[in-house]
Amino acid sequence: MLPINSATRTPLEDEDTAAQWGNVQRRPVRRIALASAFEHQAVAPDQSRLDLTRLWQEIQDLSAHEVDAGLVHLLQRLSQLLSADGIRWELLASSQPGNTVCVASQVFWNLQQHNSADMTGPELSLTLPMRGGMRMHFHLMRAQGAAPFTEAHRATLELALAGLSRWLNWLTLSHGPALATGPLPPHQRKVLLLLLTGLSEKQIAAELNLSTNTAHQYVTSLYRRFGARNRPSLTAQWLGSGL
């Protein structure tokens, strides 16, 4: 585990640091024009390669604090690219053999009407080892009677995720630095994602309808949890999480 340090910071110091460091990704965010969730078309191999390149660009154009929106978009695009009727994402942690905990999960259905009981057709699963003892699991589903997934589908899924390894590490880190510290409580995670936008503690307090003192306590707790002395130290962890 990283050493635990904390530092008392004044609001002025926090604002100065935010001005110096800003967002983890400083370039302006290009808003994604999401494709319709119900455009379910088979694509040729050449088109698949173009779609992968477009997907990588769309996700990488997002700032680190937009991981939740990016996850929804990733699942939507993967389901379309691989002609899946549904896809489930899970972030898993195992403190000991046989004891697996789901830290976070998200499901996307590529159907206007769906019933999980109908998802008894072909399946495709892929699990990725992540930092801090975590595992990221992707499970694609098709309705009963649909054509099976092929090795080409698996290879496409592996390639799509390999091109997003840095961003997937950001997504994992947003739920806590390591298995040993446990997942972040929802309120701390909101503060963390706002810290990554470059907002000062005063601005975070206003955004979340908190007192300045409460926001400062949350920020200090986050520094302890991540073993960071201050915002630059926390940012450095984020920038290095994909290496």
What pLDDT, on a 0 to 100 scale, did the predictor assign at position 116? 58
Q: Give me the architecture of the 11-26+175-240 domain, per CATH.
A: Orthogonal Bundle (1.10)
Instruction: Check whether 16 has a pLDDT greater than 50.
Output: no
Q: Range with the lowest mean pLDDT among 85-89, 169-173, 216-220?
A: 169-173
pLDDT bracket for residue 113 (50, 70, 90): low
Annotated domain spans of the chain:
11-26+175-240, 45-173
What whole-number distance in Å separates Cα of residue 124 and Cα of residue 223? 38
What average pLDDT does the structure give for the chain? 77
**Lookup: tokens for 53:** 């390149």
**Lookup: tokens for 91:** 């972030």
pLDDT bracket for residue 208 (50, 70, 90): very high
The residues near 115 (Cβ < 8 Å, ≥ 6 apart) are none
Name the pTM for this structure.
0.74
| 3-state SS, residue 89 | strand
Instruction: Check whether 147 has a pLDDT greater than 50.
Output: yes
Instruction: Check whether 168 has a pLDDT greater than 60.
Output: yes
The residues near 240 (Cβ < 8 Å, ≥ 6 apart) are none
The residues near 112 (Cβ < 8 Å, ≥ 6 apart) are 38
What pLDDT, on a 0 to 100 scale, did the predictor assign at position 34? 32
Instruction: Check whether 9 has a pLDDT greater than 90.
Output: no
- Please state the CATH superfamily assignment of the domain spanning residues 45-173 in this structure: GAF domain (3.30.450.40)
pLDDT bracket for residue 226 (50, 70, 90): confident
